[in-house]
Amino acid sequence: MEIQKPYLLFLGDAHDPLAAKVAQGIKQWHPEYCVGQFRMEECQADCELPDLDIEAAKAAGAKTLVIGVANRGGIISDKWLVILKEALNAGLDLAAGLHNQLNEIPELVELAKAKGRKMFDVRFPTQTFPVASGKKRSGKRALPVGTDCSVGKMYTALAITEELKSRKIPADFRATGQTGILVSGAGVCVDSVVSDFISGAVEVLAPDNTPEHWDVIEGQGSLFHPSFAGVTTGLIHGAQADALILCHEPTREHMRGTPEYKLPDIQACLDLNLTMARLTNPAAKFVGISVNTSKLSEKDAFALMEKLEAEYGLPTIDPFRQGVARIVDNMLKD
């Protein structure tokens, strides 16, 4: 896929900032890709980019409208459809990472063809994958896992990759979701792979490598989430991770989108993820805890991280406030 840049990030009618995490991720890691954002009246998210309509975005040089919303179910609504048609008519390509594919909406397909535009559904793999073998692969691998969904696994993985590279250690970020793919330019959306082949897809994504090389694999879902534990399981087995990082958002009262399920205990998360990881890598271990403290004051954030570090004996940081150097230090210990 060669998605033309720069982008107009479409935030649509996102009901909260997390719903626009695709757009937030692109803006965070590649602001140079972005000319602005398009927000509908109901939108409750803001990437702090210029608010542009389609005409203004085109004039500013935008080549592709990227749907930056990851709503529950991945649906393209009728209200969105009006704007997507306007973008095609203005000469923009479209890109999305939703379950609802652009290329399965007849009126968009017809209009794109008429206007000579391209539409990219980055969630859907363009190749087939084998069943996983579970055989030990050369090289090293790190995998963030979560107490819940949307707690900072991708951010943590990207930050670790950049920290390794800054130390001249060979490393690659391996995207497993639509935002990661749009940020990095390559990867596999594992939640769109048939379940029998998820682990095999991750083996292909992070293959044999040189002994000193690290693949930092983007985590997905949570073993404790009733909706997404299945994809997490396949990802963990295929990753064959040497280093696990637990990601946590401490202010939530329940699992995202499922109020009847409370957040799990951190020790339970450490134990279960380690058990699952050791199926394919008996030497797997946790090397740190990454905490999203964005909703806490600095004082409360540091007090919490000190408490967690004392309780679990792992370097505990907020990658945004402090960086991930201490976790990487622990990763690199013999």
- Give yes or no for a cis peptide into 6 (omega within 30° of 0): yes
Per residue in 169-216, pLDDT tens? 999 999 999 889 888 878 999 988 999 999 999 999 999 999 999 999
In this model, does residue 70 exceed pLDDT 90?
no
- The helix (H) or strand (E) run that includes residue 274 is helix 266-277
Average pLDDT over residues 153-157: 96
Q: Using DSSP, state whether 229 is helix, strand or coil.
A: helix
Contact assessment for residue 42 and residue 56, using Cβ atoms and an 8 Å cutoff: no
Of 51-55, 69-73, 131-135, 258-262, minimum mean pLDDT range: 69-73
pTM: predicted TM-score of the whole model, two decimal places = 0.85
For CA atoms 205, 206, 207, 210, give the dihedral sign: positive
Phi–psi pair at 306, nearest 5 degrees: -65, -40
**What pLDDT sits at residue 183?**
86
> How many Å apart are CA 100 and CA 67, to the nearest integer?
12
Q: What is the DSSP string of 92-161?
A: -EEEE-SSS-GGG-HHHHHHHHHHT--EEETTS-SS--PPP-----SSEEEEEEESSSSSSHHHHHHHHH
Looking at the predicted structure, is the pLDDT value of residue 104 above 60?
yes
pLDDT greater than 60 at residue 73: no
Tell me the pLDDT band of 125, cut-offs 50, 70 and 90.
confident
- Please say if the pLDDT value at position 1 is more than 80: no
Domains of the chain (ranges plus CATH)? 7-121 (3.40.50.720), 140-331 (3.40.50.300)
- For residue 13, what are its two tokens? 């009618």
Is residue 325's pLDDT more than 70?
A: yes
